[in-house]
Structure 1
Amino acid sequence: MTDYSSLSTRDIERLSRSIRPGEWAVERERPISTLLGSCVAVCLFDPVLPIAGMNHFMLPQMKRGAHADEDVLLAGDACMEALLNGMLQRGAAKHRMQAKAFGGGAVIDTTVQGAPAVGKRNADFAHEWLDREGIPLVASDFLGPWSRKILLVPATGDAYCKRVTSSLVSQESLRREEQAYAESLLNKPAQPAGKKIELF
């Protein structure tokens, strides 16, 4: 087993399994990483096994439509259930789980008059879902004007959050990627029927 405590965060990221919006992963050893803008990633960790998982969702909920099966994991309600079930299927116990959550940055303009921005809605949803399921949120980094790189080390449950400025990664590129996912949900034709958190 790799001793990740002896590696730099750059080395950990290089070894990691990267997930994108609408995806989730559960691992016993290999680190998991993602890049967030207004999306949120929730990490679940069972310290007894140990095992951990991470997801990446871009909307709190999604209306069921003709292509709901394709897009459902982009929504927090389904993506959280998928991650929880993935953990349970690998032997984790819900009463032992701890959570860490990140994201909800104000990096794309999705504000509708009278409604909170999508990043804030995502962050609020993560809090509400974890409260409802009785899983303690032991560390978090939400909101603000940043993109974020997230690294999760399943063997220890350690999560690393790097707030990213435009000098390190193109926020415009991230904004376009998230916007493309959002637009695809509207434009698709119908188909036939704790440990620690570290800022680095």
Structure 2
Amino acid sequence: MSNADHLAGRELERIARVILPGAWAVEKERPIATLLGSCVAVALYDPQVGLGGLNHFMLPEVSRLSGRADVDALLAGNYAMEALLNAMLARGARKSRLVAKAFGGGMVVSSLDRSRIGQRNVEFTREWLERESIPLVASDFLGNCSRKVVLEPRSGDVFCRRAPSSLAVSRQIDSQEQAYAERLVTERKRSDIELF
């Protein structure tokens, strides 16, 4: 990355809409950013309408149980990819014009390393994009690093800054993922209450 690209990425990061695990966003003007460990973020871009979207998911798939709230599905790639694709289409994108860039799957949280969650997320991402016939034109996967990803939706450019795995970064990522998981548990408990 050149110095000019580095400065441009830093400026975009400063004004970006930040998404956390389980979230996605679609924008025409405002950059979108996220911080990744073993999670994966996929950016979709339609060059004809200058529209970009980014998601952030923690697991490849979560089966939906009948009668249960779908909040736990937000963790999963199968839900996050469909949600992002549908949001792009609703804003005027066409599937036949979409291109993808994907990032993440790093091994930065030691408790997740044993389950190969990063590798599974990467495999899911490649398979999903291939199945949907959306070309993956750029990627930065795996390794022992975290990534700060910033999508510039007008051009489809994505800036990815790798950071060596450190205790501080691992704790920040782990904290975000734990907070998200706790929120899901709270939502699930609320959905289990029957009102009559």
Aligned length: 187
Equivalent position of 1:79 in the other structure = 80
Q: Is the partner of 1:79 in helix, strand or coil?
A: helix
Q: Answer whether contact 1:165 1:171 (CA < 8 A) is retained.
A: no
Q: TM-score, normalised by structure 1?
A: 0.84
Residues 1:169 and 1:158: Cα distance change in structure 2 (over 3 Å) = farther
State the distance in 2 between where 1:120 and 1:184 align: 25
Gaps spanning 5+ residues in structure 2: where? none
The 5 A counterparts of 1:45-194 are 45-65=45-65, 67-108=68-109, 109-111=111-113, 117-166=116-165, 170-182=169-181, 189=189, 191-192=192-193
Distance 2:136 2:148 in 1: 19
Higher helix share: 2
Rounded to whole Å, the distance in 2 between the matches of 1:153 and 1:128 is: 25
What code does the residue aligned with 2:105 have?
A: G
Render the CA deviation track for 1:74-131: whole Å, top value 9, x for unaligned. 110011000000000011010000000000111122255xxx5111111110000000
Q: Does structure 1 conserve the Cα–Cα contact (< 8 Å) formed by 2:46 and 2:98? A: yes
SS at match of 1:110: helix
User: 1:2-81 residue pairs with structure 2 within 5 A?
Assistant: 8-65=8-65, 67-81=68-82
**Distance verdict in 2 for CA 1:167–1:74, change over 3 Å:** closer
- Secondary structure of the residue aligned to 1:171 is helix
* Contact persistence 1:32–1:153 (CA under 8 A): yes
The alpha-carbon distance between structure 1 residues 101 and 63, as it changes in their structure 2 partners (threshold 3 A), is: same
Q: In the alignment, which residue of structure 2 is the partner of 1:198? A: none
SS in 1 for 2:73: helix
**TM-score normalised over the length of structure 2:** 0.85
Q: Distance in 2 between matches of 1:45 and 1:31?
A: 12
Distance 2:91 2:183 in 1: 32
Helix, strand or coil at the partner of 1:119 = helix
Gaps in structure 1 of 5+ consecutive residues: 194-200
